[in-house]
Amino acid sequence: MTSIARPGKIIALHLNYRSRAVQRGRVPQQPSYFLKPPTSVAASGAALERPASTELLGFEGEIALVIGRTARRVRPEDGWSYVSGVTAANDFGVYDLRYADKGSNLRSKGGDGFTPLGPAVLPAADVDPAALRLRTWLNGELVQEDTTGDLLFGFGRLVADLSQLITLEPGDVVLTGTPAGASVAIPGDVVEVEVDTARHTTGRLITPITEGTVPFGPYGALPRADDQQRADAYGTSTGDFQLTAGLKERIESVGTATLSVQLRKRGLDDVFIEGLTSTRPGTRLTGRARTLRYLPYREDLFEKHGGGYNAQKRAIDALGPGDVLVMEARGERGTGTVGDILALRAQVRGAAGIVTDGGVRDLAAVSALDIPTYHAGPHPAVLGRRHVPWDVDVAIACGGAAVCPGDVIVGDGDGVLVIPPDLVEEVIDAAIEQELQETYIAEQVAAGERVEGLYPMDEHWRGRYAAWLAKR
């Protein structure tokens, strides 16, 4: 383990952890970056001032790559060999100044001390880049924990991508993104970050937060905060809904027919993805939507976008545990939109299911997989007969329903429906209660009771239902 000197340049990544991308409500197709000045570097233990008159000092625990040899136009498979080591980093920034940077992050994230690094560097030869753990603590409470197995873009790919235009030199630092859980620190707080493996650790990178006293002058942008900046800084924007194991179990305790009733009561009538058949009709489907959109086939567009590592393959490779890939194929059944190899890849990635309003190739092989695939019918033709794979993780239309990335997708033998994340808890509670009532009503009908006054229940039957419920 060695210490780190001040780098020649610091390049930081915007989004790289799947958990953070879900929180932000967007999944990038390619990595994007910004620069931080070398004067932003600080050592472990150094106090960081929250600038005077600012409110939102955000912290982001990250893994930092230290470049070990000159890299220029290297290949992704060789990128990791140009890294000499990894260390812990904290990508601090003041959200109060984000508006002033026009996306550059220079003032919001470039302040003195805004990039603590250390305390030790783990030699690249001693670690597996795909098996690193990152953790962040705020006042001793663990607030971030993730592994590099959840990265959207691997370390070798980042080095290769940057080196296409920028010569990376020994000592340069690449910050590789932060997972969900990043939030805000205030004066008096202590933020700690650690990167480790089963055998090695950087130690904890410790940053105490103090209150700045020197005011901003009137000759530049002044700090300002609004509700959107606060939501982004604290991680409380609408994208932070989590489909937990417990919530998934509750969803799967009720049928899509019941869920559709409750959605309709809330004014949502067009949430069914129509006309599809499941390859595994007895298997429940519950997960978060990732989306893929096809354009109608056009020769020049397919030539540019249809081959190689196209949007279809990128969408499959980006799937993670619990994701459902939902495809917009315009109801076109005259070709396949997925086949056995890509469906298998989705299964290996841990995806919960595939939904397409187009055709499926290799239907027998796809049906033999464990992953359920909802489709409009089989067809042997390849993708390029009717479709151009166009873009991923955008709002789409599938089977007559609007689907946004992050929507909850639920399927059973009756079909597939879409639930907006902010309605899930309310809808599930009501659906569970509805099915309890229907269980009671069915028992009474089976015992010979008339449906008049019972279905739906009048005041008399509601009283008896309450007594029945109390005994359960």
How many other CB atoms are found less than 10 A from the CB of residue 453?
12
pTM: 0.57
Q: Which amino acid is at 455?
A: Y
342 is in an annotated binding site: yes
Q: Which amino acid is at 313?
A: K
- 3-class SS string, 155-195: HHHHHHHHHCCCCECCCCEEECCCCCCCEEECCCCEEEEEE
* 3-class DSSP assignment, residue 391: strand
- 3-class SS string, 305-360: HCCCCCHHHHHHHCCCCCEEEEEECCCCCCCECCCHHHHHHHHHCCCCEEEECCEE
Tokens 């933020």: give the residue.
Answer: 191
* 3-class DSSP assignment, residue 459: helix
361 is in an annotated binding site: yes
Whether residue 93 contacts residue 62, with contact meaning beta carbons closer than 8 Å, is answered with no
339 is in an annotated binding site: yes
Whether residue 150 contacts residue 178, with contact meaning beta carbons closer than 8 Å, is answered with no
Residues of the chain with CATH 3.90.850.10: 10-239
Residue 1: what pLDDT? 44
CA distance 25 to 135: 22
140 is in an annotated binding site: no
Residues of the chain with CATH 3.50.30.40: 271-419
Whether residue 119 contacts residue 76, with contact meaning beta carbons closer than 8 Å, is answered with no
Please state, in angstroms and as integers, the Cα–Cα distance from residue 21 to each residue in 26, 114, 239, 429, following that order.
5, 23, 9, 28
Return phi, psi of residue 211, to 5°.
-100, 125
How many other CB atoms are found less than 10 A from the CB of residue 459?
7
Give the β-pairing of 93-94 and 323-328: unpaired
CATH topology for the 271-419 domain: Glucose Oxidase; domain 1 (3.50.30)
CA distance 198 to 128: 10
Return phi, psi of residue 362, to 5°.
55, 45
Q: Which amino acid is at 261?
A: V
Residue 235: what pLDDT? 64
Q: Buried (b) or exposed (e) across 171-199, using 16+ Cβ within 10 A?
A: bbbbbbbbbbbbbbbeeebebbbbbbeee
Residue 238: what pLDDT? 43
Whether residue 84 contacts residue 186, with contact meaning beta carbons closer than 8 Å, is answered with no
- CA-based R_g, the chain, Å: 26
Q: Which residues lie below 8 Å from residue 211, measured CB to CB, with a gap of 6+?
A: 49, 50, 52, 187
CATH topology for the 10-239 domain: Fumarylacetoacetate hydrolase; domain 2 (3.90.850)
CA distance 322 to 21: 15
Average pLDDT of adjacent 10-residue blocks, the chain of 472 residues? 77 91 76 96 97 95 98 97 98 94 89 97 96 95 89 96 97 95 93 96 97 92 81 61 87 95 93 96 94 95 88 86 95 96 94 97 97 97 93 90 93 95 92 92 95 92 91 83
ω into 119 cis (within 30 of 0): yes
Half-sphere exposure of 153 (CA within 13 A, CB side): 25
Whether residue 437 contacts residue 306, with contact meaning beta carbons closer than 8 Å, is answered with no
Q: Which residues lie below 8 Å from residue 118, measured CB to CB, with a gap of 6+?
A: 3, 4, 43, 44, 87, 88, 202, 203, 205
Name the residue among 342, 246, 334 with its Cα closest to residue 292: 342
CA distance 192 to 209: 11
Name the residue among 159, 163, 173 with its Cα closest to residue 81: 159
111 is in an annotated binding site: no
CB-neighbour burial class of residue 365 (10 A; exposed 0-12, middle 13-18, buried 19+): middle
Whether residue 86 contacts residue 173, with contact meaning beta carbons closer than 8 Å, is answered with no
